[in-house]
Structure 1
């Protein structure tokens, strides 16, 4: 049995928040840190054996590069990333030490903003502990 990198209750809260905000559009939820990741939820109709190592590594590196590149931007503080793909969308929400990747079927931009805000607050509170 592998050891979890996230408190199970906190992981359940992340999934519940994502599920409440997205309904049946939720595809997957993955919690990640610089060194590791854990898939918290994967919808039944999706491939159960996807290799997330490179994917998560790229998203962590992408977060750091984005945060650094835009820190002086007139647009303000970086908040989250939404990526569009042929078969769905990816939302990346990150804090200083961890992040969450949520994949969905299509949602409105305001839905992504709401999810990102809620997950961002949860990550910030976790980092304060």
Structure 2
């Protein structure tokens, strides 16, 4: 599913993620309510993941999280970090468009930097 993002936005998003987590970057997927585009997949990974399942879970979780924690003393939602046996998934973005990035092991501070960088990139081309 190519073409959801302009080429310049795709290149910038991948460059932002690569700069932040380097060779630990596994994949980058941009998604909206109706479509998705995997903009990066590291060469040593298989291309058989069911991205629609991931996206469905991330969309539903965002809505649930936003409803449950909206107005709490914790402040505004920033990003979601999921920890798996073989890597991590970071979800950044809002209700209408978001990105999930998968990585190998990195430090917690790197996830925060990654989330801020992706969020800034999303905000710039959505405005």
TM category, shorter: over 0.9
1:122 aligned residue: 121
Query: 2: CA distance between counterparts of 1:125 and 1:19?
Result: 18
Report the TM-score when normalising by structure 2.
0.94
CA contact (8 A) 2:62 2:94 kept: no
Q: Could you list the runs of 4 or more consecutive aligned residues of structure 1 that deviate by over 2 angstroms after TM superposition?
A: none
Instruction: Pick which of 49-58 and 83-92 moved more.
Output: 49-58
Displacement of 1:96 in angstroms is 4.0
CA distance in 1 between partners of 2:11 and 2:60 (Å) = 26
* RMSD (Å), alpha carbons: 1.2
Q: Which residue of 1 aligns with 2:77?
A: 78
TM (norm. structure 1) is: 0.93
Matched, 1:108 2:83: no
After superposition, give the CA deviation of every residue in 1:58-97 in whole Å (9 maximum; x if it has no partner): 1111112111211111110000010000110000001342
What is the alpha-carbon distance in structure 2 between the residues aligned to residue 53 and residue 34 of structure 1?
A: 11
Structure of higher RCO (CA pairs closer than 8 Å, 6+ residues apart): 2
Instruction: Tell me, yes or no, if the aligned pair for 1:29 and 1:39 is still in contact at 8 Å.
Output: yes
In the alignment, structure 1 segments of 5+ residues that lack a partner are none
What is the rounded CA distance, in whole Å, between the counterparts of 1:89 and 1:3 in structure 2? Answer: 24
Distance 2:26 2:3 in 1: 21
**1:92 equivalent in structure 2:** 91
Give the deviation of 1:12 after TM superposition. Answer: 0.8
Conserved? CA contact 1:34–1:57, under 8 Å: no
* Distance in 2 between residues matched to 1:110 and 1:88, nearest whole Å: 16
